[in-house]
Amino acid sequence: MLRAIPRILTALAIVSLASVAFAQPLAIPSAPQPAGQAPVVAQAPAPATPAPQAATSTAETAAAAADTAARSLKSVAPALRELSLWSMFLSADVLVKAVMIGLAFASLVTWTIFIAKMIELAVAQRKLTSALGEIIEARSLAEAQFALGAKSGAKTDVLSAFLAAAMREARLSAGISSDSGIKERAASSFAEISRAEARRIRLGMGLLATIGATSPFIGLFGTVWGIMNSFIGISKAQTTNLAVVAPGIAEALLATAIGLVAAIPAVIIYNHFARVTKTYLELVSRASGAAARLLSRDLDSTHVNSHGGAHSRAAE
């Protein structure tokens, strides 16, 4: 038994040495190569290519997206620059264009009436005031007519019409002893002349009132029509992008803006002319009163002369 122990230990040592030897890589002799040939060098395995290809495709995709974004920005930028009043008018619907043109024409009419009536009222007031100053010292209708005709440029149709109506009534009523009837008939003629002058001087103011009252509603009609077309375009495009929606709405709102541009000056000018016309008609009323006083003075002087003649004949 004791003799077997050394043998066992020797076997274990041999086994351990053999395991160490097998753990190291064994050198395998290479086959002999023919003379003149270069030794074959072992090449490392080629790296896998899918990873670089994936990186390249990602870079190309990013570049394409950036290019698309740049093109979209370039296309949007000119559109924003071209969103002017003229471009909105040109791109508007036919009905909205008609509304805008009509409102622009109404605004032109408003300013034309303003310039024409300002000149007309200023000239009429100056002439009538000057004429009233000319006849203030006249003692009869004949003297008043002579004073108006003597100074060139001092004639006014309305005052001349008052004097002519008074003299015509006095001539037609010759031999009638009722002075009140003559004055009443003359006052009726003066009232007709005053109404005719008021109609003449107010010519065009009704059009101003119409433009001021209806222009906002006409512009609102164009706006409603344009917004309706914009919503129809949105439904067809199937998008709510502001770049698609904004131009149509801006074109529609332009009609309302033009309507207000036409209406506001028309209302202001109408109110101004209402005040100026009232002042002028007060001058016309003064002219009518001056003609009535001259007629009354002529009638009184006629009666005085007739009574004086009767008394002189009785004395004889």
**Where exactly are the structural domains of the chain?**
93-147+157-305
pLDDT at 209: 94
How many CB atoms sit inside 10 A of residue 209's CB?
A: 15
pLDDT at 294 over 50: yes
pLDDT at 173: 79
User: What angle do the packed helices 94-134 and 157-172 form, to 10 degrees?
Assistant: 60
What pTM, to 2 d.p., does this model score?
Answer: 0.65
45-62: pLDDT as tens digits: 444 444 445 445 665 666
Determine the Cα angle at 13 with ends 11 and 18, to 5°: 95
**Radius of gyration in angstroms for the set of CA atoms belonging to the chain, rounded to a whole number:** 55
pLDDT at 174: 75
C-alpha–C-alpha distance, residues 3 and 10, integer Å: 12
**Residue 44 exposure: Cα atoms within 13 Å on the Cβ side:** 3
Task: Give me the chain's average pLDDT, please.
Answer: 76
- The residues near 134 (Cβ < 8 Å, ≥ 6 apart) are 147, 148, 151, 154
For residue 68, what are the CA distances in angstroms to 62, 63, 143, 241, 255? 10, 9, 93, 18, 36
pLDDT at 134 over 50: yes
Select, from the ranges 2-6, 64-68, 108-112, 165-169, the one with the highest average predicted confidence (pLDDT): 108-112
Say which residue, 231 or 63, is predicted with more confidence.
231
C-alpha–C-alpha distance, residues 165 and 186, integer Å: 7
57-111: pLDDT as tens digits: 665 666 666 566 555 544 444 444 466 778 777 877 888 889 999 999 999 999 9
pLDDT at 169 over 70: yes
Contacts 24+ apart (CB under 8 A), 102-108: 102/218, 103/215, 103/218, 103/219, 103/255, 103/258, 103/259, 103/261, 103/262, 104/258, 104/262, 106/211, 106/215, 106/262, 106/266, 107/258, 107/261, 107/262, 107/265, 107/266
Per-residue pLDDT, averaged over 149-169, amounts to 75
